[in-house]
Structure 1
Amino acid sequence: MAFFDTLTAMLASPLMQRGLIVAVLVGISAPVMGTYLVQRRLALLGDGIGHVALTGVAMGWLAGSAAGLTPHDLQAVPGAVIAAVFGAVLIELVREKGKTSEDVALALLFYGGIAGGVLLIGLAGGTAANLTGYLFGSISTVTELDVWLTAALAVLILTIGLMLRRALFALSHDEEFTRATGLPIRTLNILVAVLAALTVSVSMRVVGVLLVSALMIVPVAIAQLTARSFRATMATAMTVGALVCVTGLSITYFHLLSPGATIVVLAIGVYAVVALLRPLRRRPAEDSDPHLDAEDDVRLHENT
Structure 2
Amino acid sequence: MATEHVGSSYGFREEYTVVGALAAVMVASGLFILGWLPALAPGAWPTLFELSLGGWSLEVPVPREWSFVTVGFPELYEAFWGATCGAVGSWLVCSGFLQRGFTAGVLIGITAPIVGTYLVNRQMALIGEALAHTAFGGVAIGLFVGAAVPRFDYPLLFALVTAAIAALGMQYIAVTTDGYADIPIAIMLTGGFAVGIAVISYGVVFSATVESYLFGDILFVPFENVQLMVALTMTVAAMVALTHKQLLFITFDREAARLARINVWFYDTLLIVLTALVVVAAMQVLGAILVAGMLVIPVAAAMQLTTGFNRGLVLSVVLGQIAVFGGIFLSYYWNVATGAMIIIVAIVLYIWSVLGKPIW
Scaled by the length of structure 1, the TM-score of the pair is: 0.85
Q: Structure 2: any 5+ residue segments left out of the alignment?
A: 1-87
Q: Does 1:109 align with 2:188?
A: yes
Q: Does 1:36 align with 2:115?
A: no
Mapping for residues 51-66 of structure 1, pairs under 5 Å:
51-66=133-148
Q: Structure 1: any 5+ residue segments left out of the alignment?
A: 1-5, 287-304
The CA distance in 1 between the partners of 2:143 and 2:94, in whole Å, is 33
The CA distance in 2 between the partners of 1:54 and 1:41, in whole Å, is 23
Structure 2 residue corresponding to 1:234, chosen from 286, 303, 313: 313
The CA distance in 1 between the partners of 2:258 and 2:349, in whole Å, is 38
RMSD over aligned Cα atoms: 2.1
Offset at residue 162 of structure 1 (A): 2.3
Identity, in percent, stands at 29
**Contact 1:10 1:253 (C-alpha < 8 Å) held by counterparts:** no
**Contact 1:18 1:147 (C-alpha < 8 Å) held by counterparts:** yes
Q: Does 1:27 align with 2:106?
A: no
**Contact 2:140 2:199 (C-alpha < 8 Å) held by counterparts:** yes
Q: Does 1:131 align with 2:210?
A: yes
The CA distance in 1 between the partners of 2:310 and 2:257, in whole Å, is 18
Question: Comparing both structures, which one devotes a greater share of its residues to helix?
Answer: 1
SS at match of 1:42: coil
The corresponding residue for 2:161 is 82
The CA distance in 2 between the partners of 1:130 and 1:149, in whole Å, is 18
The CA distance in 1 between the partners of 2:196 and 2:92, in whole Å, is 35
The corresponding residue for 2:44 is none
Offset at residue 127 of structure 1 (A): 5.7
The CA distance in 2 between the partners of 1:131 and 1:38, in whole Å, is 29
Offset at residue 121 of structure 1 (A): 2.5
Q: Specify whether residues 226 and 179 from structure 1 end up closer, same or farther in structure 2 by C-alpha distance, changes over 3 A only.
A: same
One-letter amino acid of the structure 1 residue matched with residue 216 of structure 2: G
**Contact 2:302 2:353 (C-alpha < 8 Å) held by counterparts:** no
One-letter amino acid of the structure 1 residue matched with residue 315 of structure 2: T
> After the TM superposition, which of the residue ranges 85-94 and 95-104 deviates more from structure 2?
95-104
> After the TM superposition, which of the residue ranges 44-53 and 125-134 deviates more from structure 2?
125-134
The CA distance in 1 between the partners of 2:95 and 2:148, in whole Å, is 36
Q: Specify whether residues 175 and 124 from structure 1 end up closer, same or farther in structure 2 by C-alpha distance, changes over 3 A only.
A: farther
**Contact 1:60 1:75 (C-alpha < 8 Å) held by counterparts:** yes
Offset at residue 212 of structure 1 (A): 0.8
SS at match of 1:164: helix
Larger radius of gyration: 2
The CA distance in 1 between the partners of 2:134 and 2:122, in whole Å, is 21
The corresponding residue for 2:197 is 118
Runs of 4+ in 1 over 6 A off after TM superposition: none
> After the TM superposition, which of the residue ranges 24-33 and 178-187 deviates more from structure 2?
178-187
The corresponding residue for 1:16 is 98
One-letter amino acid of the structure 1 residue matched with residue 141 of structure 2: M
Offset at residue 70 of structure 1 (A): 8.3
Offset at residue 100 of structure 1 (A): 2.3
The corresponding residue for 1:292 is none
